[in-house]
Structure 1
Amino acid sequence: MEYLDFELPIKELDEQLDKCIAVGKNSGVNVASTCKEIENKIQETKHNIYDHLTPWQKVQLSRHPNRPYSLDYCYALTDNTFIELHGDRSFADDKAMVGGLGKIDGTTFMIIGQQKGKNTKERQYRRFGMPNPEGYRKALRLMKVAEKFNIPILTLIDTPGAYPGLEAEERGQGEAIAQNILQMCTIKVPIICVVIGEGASGGALGIGVGNKVYMMENTWYSVISPESCSSILWRSWEYKAQAAENLKLTAEDSLKLGIIDDIIKEPLGGAHYNPEKAYEALKKQVLTAYTELEKMSSKEIVEHRQNKFINIGIFNG
């Protein structure tokens, strides 16, 4: 387990618990009561830390290297029946954007998400979850397939932003994202979107237009990352924590502002502490949303989605 800076008190207690267990095994002394005291202290410390996280600490948790990524959810939600589909049929198969078919409790879903890597080699292969234009075009192709066969769509958002490279701009990064936003407004099947990690800028919105939009508890959703905001406003990354506070990017902020429909609770400490519990919570929310949406006609689904986004924000006429 890797620990973030603010998690170091938990690390110390975990090490004490490991030593206590080792002493009991090696000496034959009954240390059960001591170990229990340490376990209780660990739980108390976790609550003290995780029940009072700052926005910047939540951003850090959303990037935790042990956190489940899109493909982890794809296989867990579908009991390993997920079949990945590839390519945009125009240029290439973007490894930062994944998608395919799978059954969630007997209902077939088209699941699409941004995929990060779990080690250095895979992160380079997946481009750190930053899709190129062909990634967004692949996502749109899969959505159109889902619409053709009346299959609901689930998107899993986890990206620091669309890939900012020269080749991405040459191939029409902005147009690809804009086309996705436009087309997602008119697709006639239910679309459910969940932010499972980072939800940054148009890179997130390119697969984020849904009838229902949810955020996992320790995630963020914003037009810009705290670091980039800090570097633009203060010409330094030192103010990233202040930027995170002012951007109102947490799940609680987004719910209060009417940007999302609900928050999916995570296990104490984050989804990486108990991935199975996180998978179950997300699955339950997706099925609840689909039960509501499947009763609507295709026309009602489109109107519902468009009205949802039209009504976000405050307008002065």
Structure 2
Amino acid sequence: METAENYYELLEVEASASFEEVQKAYEKKLEEVHEESLAAYSLCPVEENEDLLRKLSEAFMQLADPEARRTHDLKLESKPIQEEISSKPYLAPTTPVVKTKIESSSPSNEGKVVFLRPQLKTGGFSTSTGEAFQAKVSDTQKPNPITKLNRQNVSASLEEITHQSAKLRQDAFQNLAGKNKQTDAKLQEYYQFLEANEGVVRYSGSVLHQIRELKGITIMELATVTCVRGTYLESIEKENFKIFPSAVYLKGYLHCYLKALDLPLDQVCEQYMKLFDDWQEEGSENNSF
């Protein structure tokens, strides 16, 4: 059985992380790879950096899509359950017993040990002689009506905003997936046109631009899904390489761009980054004179 990739571990975030936290973690990882690539005596080969970039982009795009994230979480949840069923015998559930001492001014209760069993509902305890203890707990847990009201309002507002944000992202991903599927035949016709006129399909910035236009996808839609600035997305299509801090950032954003457009990652990235390498070499030659 294939082991599910844990994207939370890859990005080093909690499973409960918000979308903003996932995005910050992805950007931090890109920065780490960038710094690693600049190290004079890097212990990480270029091939490993390439593979890591691919995995990071895949992780970010999966966790950014609410529907894909739910599927990912279900895969992670099914693995430990299956392992536990196959490797451990069935044990009847037991309620944990807590041993404690009740402090009381009464001589009859002094030093008396009582076994407390947690209730399933709230944080109270049930004991045979612990009524006074339970009363103290109840008093300390009584909420301030004003504070409770304010917290509920703030919590409801945050939950509503978070829900709306997730709904917008989910709709954006679904809309993009629909356009990719509906234009598959047109894309194949475009490939045939390129092959007939140029002999082969070369994924340059202008070709990527034509593909995006053919699919009817706007830069704004891509920016919403990939969370990459529209300026960078347009620069990918215009081959404006000087705007990118390094090749690492270009590759990371390019991976998200290609994933969103449902294009072959390895083939396109290899051809496109060759354009970047040529641009760098040309710049080096010009600076040498």
TM-score range, shorter chain: under 0.3
TM-score of the aligned structures, taking structure 1 as reference length: 0.21
**Higher gyration radius (CA):** 2
More helix, by proportion? 2
